[in-house]
Structure 1
Amino acid sequence: MSSVTRMMSMVLSLQIITAFFFITATVSSSDSSQPGGFTMDLIQHRSKSNSSSFRRSNIDNQLRATPYADVAFDTYEYLMKLQIGTPPVEIEAILDTGSEVVWTQCLPCINCFNQSSPIFDPSKSSTYKKIRCTTPDQSCDYDVVYGDKSYSIGSFVSETVSIKSTSGQSYVMPETIIGCSHNNSAFKTSGSGIVGLNWKPLSLISQMGKHMLGAISYCFSPEGTSNINFGSNAIVSGEGTVTTPMFKKKEGPGLYYLNLDAVSVEKTRIETLGTPFHASDGNIVIDSGSTLTTLPASYCSLVREAVEKFVEAERVTSKDGTLCYKTNTMDVFPVITMHFTGGADLVLGKTNTYMAVNGGDICLAIICGPTIPLPGGVDAIFGNRAQNNFLVGYDDSSRLFSFKPTDCGVKQDIPRDSVSAASFLQFNITFVLFIYVLSLIRL
């Protein structure tokens, strides 16, 4: 190679590298806070609660508590860490696919519950902005009532919300609409609020924008680490994955519906067909904020009867009629399978469907609801206890739910954040080009 040719090759290579650095720097600076997908760990909070007061989250009081009062079930809540304001203040809030509003307790607090972290002080945040609404005093207030009659009252505000992924990358959401709550009641949580994740406009996933594809997935562990995935990281695939259609209904705005075709108790299959519970456009709401699964009374009684025929242990009498037995082993109970439309058959583990209560008895963790459908047409809930050890995906673009049996307490091979993966690729390409230039110089 002549010296002129070699020099031209070197100049061309340097121009390529310079252009590459310019392009990647531009991409990194514009997208660093907007990855196409990321993953973060969740915190599990567990407490005792009467079956009449477990929190079944749903806005506008569409649900009400069951009449059961004398069985103390464990309540499971999965908390998500968020950073609010500038400078950022870290909070922990309940993950809730059954509601819309993202809110945290704020000063001044008229009526606040105890939380483990300091209450957010808007006066110390430079990015806090009040929102004006078309009301006489231009205030923009909200009043959210949940299924157990707990409530949050406050004002909608604009604030910066940051989420730190497991890789350490921060996902920053400037001018996010959140609820600043000044009056709350009946919450029993170590967190400071709720992260609404339904499909309505003010939920967290909706405010993340189209680049997150409206996609979330989570893996709830009964013990150990749980996590949640957003965007491209939320794709559920691989061996054992099953899918079922997602339904949205005017009667239950914002809620995610599945269609339950049948429930099997061991080999006894109980069809919804021929019962008032049968539907083809969604008959059960999936809710990450509710612990127990609820079925309408008439259909639930058929499931209970099948369980009763199978179990030979001594029955424990309870005032509320909850199906309980005096036993210290799950082995006496039948396996329950939920059959969703499209061939999505979820074989539930014993801990998904039975719970130890009252210091020794074991009860069926499926609650029979009222005989009349609740407001909003909701009379069945698929709770987070039954979802344990499944990777559960919500894909709003395809209108599909995905379920994959997974040991959620074991660290999974989690996809890199999109930005981290892009940076890794950029480094590799740059390194190859650098080696190429060195080889030219040596020539």
Structure 2
Amino acid sequence: MALLYSLCCVSFSALVIVALYVSPVVSTSRRVLGDYGKLENGFRVTLKHVDSSKNLTKWERIQRGIKRGNHRLQRLNAMVLAASGDSAEVQAPIVAGNGEFLMDLSIGTPPNSYSAILDTGSDLIWTQCKPCTQCFDQSTPIFDPQKSSTFTKLSCSSDLCEALPQSTCSDGSCEYLYTYGDYSSTQGVMATETFKFDSVSVPNIGFGCGEDNEGDGFSQGAGLVGLGRGPLSLVSQLKEPKFSYCLTAMDETQKSLLLMGSIASANESLGEMRTTPLIRNPSQPSFYYLSLQGITVGSTRLPIKESTFALEDNGSGGVIIDSGTTITYLEQAAFSVLKKAFILEMKLPVDTLSSTGLDLCFTLPSGSTQVEVPKLVFHFDGADLDLPAENYMIADSSSGVICLAMGGSSGMSIFGNVQQQNMLVVHDLEKETVSFIETQCQNI
């Protein structure tokens, strides 16, 4: 079955018309910590893409995202390799870091406004704090805990201090060191504070007050909000540990959305909900691992062994869903099979000269206004995702190419944010599931 990728937006029978752009074990256990952020209902905030303030075309944003995604993939694979014991290098515990979206929030009493990077691949919430021995430039004043009446340092025996991958004790206070996969880091004191998201205030959120911070990846914001599965993350500290997001396409003016707590539940009136269980990787407990059982291109299920995407006993391999990675990366053997299938189905010449940064591009017919592309279905455990064409094909008529928004990986596979756009994606840490509803974000 084929989809038509076109300048007009019409649908009929089995063909869908979309725009041609110009420019091993399921676990239900969860570590519950002390009495931190209490939130009876929930809140919603808009998200900004990290490149939204720049005067860039969609294609330029994609290319920048691909470069960041390639670096992120390398960091993630290095982390898994180190944790599996296959790396000879001994180093401090490292986490993923960075992301593709920013959220606005306020910290302290009285509240001070900041933007922070949202990251589903790490746990710690932190911001730069005074006195700062080393801080990167940020557009807002650095948070001064002495001017907040609700700032409280955490003791060394606190649950959150004990949950840190690396900490020390100084004068009874918990000090942390959090190192990211690109060797950027934040170091400071653990504390609790009142956070405000839109109009909703949440007291006693545990966070890192960073007094020594370095790295190139944080310059878009004043810190980072971890949404991983570990106990330090924002979602784990809420009374109802769930969140959802709807990510718009990069060229849309409509903002992306993040919903936290009870309001993050999927509204089935939006459309059919597909739910798949999460898999837990003891060596990487922060990541959201899914069970990918196969892929269909066109009308053919690809000859890829299910074990290709399996999580190995040593913690390597597997598939994670990640909002902080732009495109999807598949284990190299699987990606090679997928590439061959697309070359066979597309019936267009492969473009070998383009500098898009993507692995597979095709030359568009001269003067074409639409082109057929094959269906693409990801078969997760209990959830078949039949993706819209714009969630995996990116066209640039000015360059005369249309490209597959996917790449190969020498380790883990990642289901990236282009493939998730215009879906409500619900992460439920209590039920240990991820659910998908295809929708337009403005409908939420």
Question: Structure 2 length normalisation: TM-score?
Answer: 0.70
User: CA–CA distance in 2 between the matches of 1:119 and 1:354?
Assistant: 41
User: CA–CA distance in 2 between the matches of 1:108 and 1:406?
Assistant: 45
Q: Which amino acid aligns with 2:342?
A: V
Q: Which amino acid aligns with 1:105?
A: Q
Deviations 1:98-153 (CA, angstroms, capped at 9, x unpaired): 1111122334445544433333233433333444547464561212213xx15222
Residue 44 of structure 1 contacts residue 76 of structure 1 at CA under 8 Å; is this kept in 2?
no
User: CA–CA distance in 2 between the matches of 1:357 and 1:107?
Assistant: 46
Q: Which amino acid aligns with 2:193?
A: T
Match of residue 22 from structure 1: none
- 1:221 alignment partner, one of 248, 252, 273: 248
Residues 1:240 and 2:288 are matched in the alignment = no
Unaligned runs of 5+ in 2: 1-36, 52-60, 82-97, 157-166
Post-superposition offset of 1:382: 1.1
User: CA–CA distance in 2 between the matches of 1:230 and 1:50?
Assistant: 25
Match of residue 268 from structure 1: 300
Question: 1:264 aligns to what SS in structure 2?
Answer: strand
Match of residue 21 from structure 1: none
**Rg comparison, structure with higher value:** 1
User: 1:28-177 maps to which residues of 2 (within 5 A)?
Assistant: 34-46=39-51, 47=61, 48-49=63-64, 51-54=66-69, 56=72, 62=79, 77-133=100-156, 135=168, 137=170, 140-146=175-181, 149=182, 151-165=184-198, 168=199, 170-174=200-204, 176-177=206-207
Residue 292 of structure 2 contacts residue 381 of structure 2 at CA under 8 Å; is this kept in 1?
yes
Residue 80 of structure 2 contacts residue 284 of structure 2 at CA under 8 Å; is this kept in 1?
no
- 2:328 alignment partner, one of 293, 310, 317: 293
- 1:335 alignment partner, one of 375, 385, 391: 375
Q: Which amino acid aligns with 1:349?
A: P
User: CA–CA distance in 2 between the matches of 1:274 and 1:39?
Assistant: 37
Post-superposition offset of 1:219: 0.9
Residue 198 of structure 1 contacts residue 254 of structure 1 at CA under 8 Å; is this kept in 2?
yes
Question: 2:68 aligns to what SS in structure 1?
Answer: coil
Match of residue 69 from structure 1: none
Residue 102 of structure 1 contacts residue 178 of structure 1 at CA under 8 Å; is this kept in 2?
yes
Post-superposition offset of 1:394: 1.0
User: 1:340-419 maps to which residues of 2 (within 5 A)?
Assistant: 340-342=380-382, 344-355=383-394, 360=399, 361-370=401-410, 373=411, 379-408=412-441, 410-412=442-444
User: CA–CA distance in 1 between the matches of 2:264 and 2:337?
Assistant: 36
Q: Which amino acid aligns with 1:62?
A: M
Q: Which amino acid aligns with 1:268?
A: T
Question: Structure 1 length normalisation: TM-score?
Answer: 0.71
Residue 101 of structure 1 contacts residue 196 of structure 1 at CA under 8 Å; is this kept in 2?
yes
Residue 218 of structure 1 contacts residue 392 of structure 1 at CA under 8 Å; is this kept in 2?
yes
Post-superposition offset of 1:386: 1.0
Question: 1:386 aligns to what SS in structure 2?
Answer: coil
User: CA–CA distance in 2 between the matches of 1:330 and 1:130?
Assistant: 60
CA RMSD in angstroms comes to: 3.3
Residues 1:184 and 2:184 are matched in the alignment = no
User: 1:301-320 maps to which residues of 2 (within 5 A)?
Assistant: 301-311=336-346, 312-317=348-353
Post-superposition offset of 1:353: 1.5
Residue 56 of structure 1 contacts residue 63 of structure 1 at CA under 8 Å; is this kept in 2?
no
Q: Which amino acid aligns with 1:240?
A: E
Residue 107 of structure 1 contacts residue 120 of structure 1 at CA under 8 Å; is this kept in 2?
yes
Question: 1:288 aligns to what SS in structure 2?
Answer: coil
Question: 1:385 aligns to what SS in structure 2?
Answer: coil
Match of residue 325 from structure 1: 362
Question: 1:303 aligns to what SS in structure 2?
Answer: helix
**Quick one: structure 1 residues 106 and 357, their matched pair in 2 at CA, closer, same or farther if it must change by over 3 Å?**
farther
Question: 2:236 aligns to what SS in structure 1?
Answer: helix
Post-superposition offset of 1:261: 0.9
Question: 2:282 aligns to what SS in structure 1?
Answer: coil
Residue 246 of structure 1 contacts residue 257 of structure 1 at CA under 8 Å; is this kept in 2?
yes
User: CA–CA distance in 1 between the matches of 2:381 and 2:99?
Assistant: 27
Residue 103 of structure 1 contacts residue 181 of structure 1 at CA under 8 Å; is this kept in 2?
no
Post-superposition offset of 1:86: 2.1
Residue 244 of structure 2 contacts residue 427 of structure 2 at CA under 8 Å; is this kept in 1?
yes
Post-superposition offset of 1:189: 5.2
User: CA–CA distance in 2 between the matches of 1:93 and 1:115?
Assistant: 10
Q: Which amino acid aligns with 1:255?
A: F
Residue 358 of structure 2 contacts residue 406 of structure 2 at CA under 8 Å; is this kept in 1?
no
Post-superposition offset of 1:255: 1.3
Post-superposition offset of 1:230: 1.9
> Please, which moves more after superposition, 175-184 or 284-293?
175-184
Question: 2:309 aligns to what SS in structure 1?
Answer: coil
Residue 107 of structure 1 contacts residue 182 of structure 1 at CA under 8 Å; is this kept in 2?
no
Q: Which amino acid aligns with 1:345?
A: D
Match of residue 285 from structure 2: 253
Q: Which amino acid aligns with 1:145?
A: Y
Question: 1:242 aligns to what SS in structure 2?
Answer: strand
Question: 1:304 aligns to what SS in structure 2?
Answer: helix
User: CA–CA distance in 2 between the matches of 1:175 and 1:352?
Assistant: 35
